[in-house]
Amino acid sequence: MAEHHLSGLDASDPLGFLAALGALRVVSEIDSSASLHWSHQAAWMAVLNYEGANSLIDVLVQDLDRWREGHEAIEVAAGADRKEQDLKHSPEAFRTLMRDLAAHPEAAAFVAAYATGIIVDGSGQTKPTSLHFTAGQQRFMDAVLDIRSQVTREDLEEAVYGPWVGRVGPKDLRWRAGSERSRALLSFDPSSTKSAVVPGASWLAFQAIPLFPAVPGRNRVVTTGFTGRGKSEQFTWPVWSDPLSAGEIGSIVGLSGLESMPPGARKARGIVRVFRSDVVRSSQGYGNFSAAQPV
């Protein structure tokens, strides 16, 4: 099994972490034995293992082409109204969507991570995943559709192997740590300029969403990896040293109490580091991850 060192994907950045998991999930579609672990060099870098003659970038581009041909998980948002593009369906409409996609396992896994079809917000609309960081004129699925249309082979290479420079143009899911541009810390109005994004990393991170399903709990949506709520919400994730498959990773990222797990219990599970980022939400509802801290 070939070992691929993904030098652009750093586990200490939520976007890098999610993008590495997304790359694994994509590769697992063609090699069910594919696995991922992390190697500590200057940082915790992703290492992907899989069998196949094609290069990793070729595999990622071929999968991107598959999604561009039409994929149920996002085609439902094309031409939908603004609320549904922002994952704010009526509960009835979202449950209908879930039933309609039940025969399509991959699409159903994505939809199960978008929302629950049970929990609603104060307006009676479906409450989306904690990974929903859009607000105002931004809409979650509209950003996904835009990234799908604009991401290039070069973007994927930059995401996977670095360095991350990014470019202006594609929309942003806002998952990069510390990406918030605070007016108070800048000498200009950040709303007057567009920031560079890393569309290849955003696309791969979106591919990881099925590993973070949303479930109902105590009258709110509980998203795998997230604790707290509102302005006191955190995302906590593990770093592991032994190769794990996508299914195994789905279990380890869902472990509760990672931040307080004793060293012996972490070691028994192959966990070598745990990171946490606060979810910072503006008064308008936009979300960002704070810089990650080891816990």
Band (pLDDT 50/70/90 cuts) for residue 97 is: very high
Q: What is the pLDDT of residue 285?
A: 85
Which tens digits make up the pLDDT trace of 218-232?
788 999 999 998 788
What are the residues facing 223 on neighbouring strands?
A: 214
Report the predicted TM-score, pTM, of the whole model to 2 decimal places. Answer: 0.94
The mean pLDDT value for 191-201 works out to: 83
Q: Which domain holds residue 48?
A: 2-294
Please tell me the predicted confidence (pLDDT) of residue 182.
47
Tally of domains within the chain:
1
Residue 192 confidence (pLDDT)? 57
Burial of 78 (0-12, 13-18, 19+ CB in 10 A): exposed
The DSSP output letter for 292 is P
Burial-class residue 184 by CB neighbours within 10 Å (0-12, 13-18, 19+): exposed
Q: How far apart are CA 97 and CA 76, in angstroms?
A: 8
Least confident of 108-117, 154-163, 173-182: 173-182
- 3-state SS, residue 106: helix
**Distance between CA 64 and CA 160 in Å, rounded?**
15
Which pLDDT value is given to residue 185?
43
Residue 163 preceded by cis peptide, ω within 30: yes
Strands 232-240 and 226-229: antiparallel
Backbone angles phi, psi at 64, to 5 degrees: -60, -45
Per-residue pLDDT band for 139 (boundaries 50, 70, 90) equals: very high
What is the pLDDT, as a whole number, of residue 191? 53
Give me the mean pLDDT over the 29-45 stretch: 95
What is the Cα Rg of the chain in Å? 18
Alpha helices in 89-236 (DSSP H): 91-100, 105-114, 140-150, 153-161, 199-206
